[in-house]
Amino acid sequence: MSSFDNYWYPDTLGINFNPKIKNWNPTDPIREEIVPPKDRALFADPQKKALLSVAEATPLTESIGTLLEGVQLSQLNETQLDELALLVAERGVVFFRDQDLTTDTQVKLFEHYGILDKHPAQKEVRHVTIKGSSSDWRRDSVYTPWPQAGWHADTSFEINPPSYSMLRMEEHPEVGGDTAWVSQYGIFDALSPTYQKLFENLHAVHTSRLQYDTILDLWGVGPNRPPIDTHHPAVITHPVTGLKAWNVNEGFVTGFAELKKAESDKLLDFSILHIHAADDELVRWKWKVGSVAMWDNRAVLHRVIPGKYPSGSRKGVRTTVFGGKPSFDPNSESRDERERRKAGQKDGGPAETNGTRGVRGEANGING
Ligand SMILES: [Fe+2]
């Protein structure tokens, strides 16, 4: 069947547009709020000496992403795993090549970080299989309520959204199927001070409703839980780094609780443009079999870059743990504010407070 066969579907779909959705009865109840165990990054040595004495760390961009080489995740002890969590919270995502983890050892390793999450479409209790996207994502939104290849933080609609995720690639095409991550510290700092204040006073409505419909409509599986809508602060204070992080995403946020609909729709449009335009806060990763990425959903958004590689040629194993309920502390600082404060302390002079960026970006005469 070609992707054009259902092209007559309207682009605004009602909740009952597919009888499979109306008739499905989820097997599990909606989750209650939990208090997860203390984040392992909070046990780590800020210098990360145990980890960085055995691994070579290379930052991949100024804003986000570090490659760790010369180390097998399977050999890390608990002290080193705690330091890895701190590095992930700070850099957003950390990458590894040629790892010897199996699904069992990955699950065991990730249990160190807390209670393992279960995705609404997940049948295995301890991990989820990630395939990728080779459909036409620009047309998908005509057929399905959910932007399948959109920027998201994993299951951000949960009352306890995931903190850390780890994806290990078992099968992969030679080219295509890259994943990109964007820093939520960075895209908050990229806003003007006026917009920063606006978002700090809003709650974003994160919903699983659209993905729920899509799981039933396109994936051919039944979600195990009913859909939920959760109001989370549109800017959070990261519980490990203490930094302000943007908390709006394309995949699950449908609006802002405090706004009128027209205001909310326009601000969401802006938000999606803002994320897509943030090349300077982005890292793009080319996978190979045996590659691993570990990221912090509270600090980054991610998206698979859709391609034309053969369906079934990409297979990854993802493990995820629950985080705490997101919160915002108006007295917390953004990453740029912290860097300016620290630069000011080092110089012995007052920290810069003029609201401009510039710690990591000197003006260049020639672009490119
Ligand atoms: Fe994801």
Mean pLDDT, the chain, rounded, equals 88
8 occurs within a structural domain? no
How many angstroms separate the alpha carbon of residue 155 from the centre of ligand 1? 8
How many angstroms separate the alpha carbon of residue 147 from the centre of ligand 1? 12
How many angstroms separate the alpha carbon of residue 355 from the centre of ligand 1? 33
365 occurs within a structural domain? no
> Over 90: is that where the pLDDT of 117 sits?
no
Number of domains observed in the structure of the chain:
1
Tens digits of per-residue pLDDT, 257-308?
Answer: 999 999 999 999 999 999 999 999 999 999 999 999 999 999 999 999 988 8
User: What's the mean pLDDT in 89-110?
Assistant: 98
Q: What is the DSSP string of 25-41?
A: --SSPPPPP--PPPPGG
31 occurs within a structural domain? no
Q: What is the pLDDT of residue 248?
A: 98
How many angstroms separate the alpha carbon of residue 357 from the centre of ligand 1? 30
Token pair, residue 28, equals 């599990």
19 occurs within a structural domain? no
How many angstroms separate the alpha carbon of residue 130 from the centre of ligand 1? 8
99 occurs within a structural domain? yes
Domain with 179 in it:
38-347
1 occurs within a structural domain? no
How many angstroms separate the alpha carbon of residue 302 from the centre of ligand 1? 6
Residues within 5 Å of ion ligand 1, judged at the Cβ atom? 154
User: What's the mean pLDDT in 72-100?
Assistant: 98
Q: What is the DSSP string of 145-188?
A: SS-TTS-B-TTTTSSS-EEEEEEEEEE--SS---EEEEEHHHHH
50 occurs within a structural domain? yes
How many angstroms separate the alpha carbon of residue 276 from the centre of ligand 1? 16
User: Which spans in the chain are helix H?
Assistant: 19-23, 49-52, 78-91, 103-111, 137-143, 184-189, 193-200, 209-214, 261-276, 335-347
Which domain CATH number covers 329? Answer: 3.60.130.10
Pairing of strands 162-171, 282-285: unpaired
How many angstroms separate the alpha carbon of residue 128 from the centre of ligand 1? 10
How many angstroms separate the alpha carbon of residue 108 from the centre of ligand 1? 21
268 occurs within a structural domain? yes
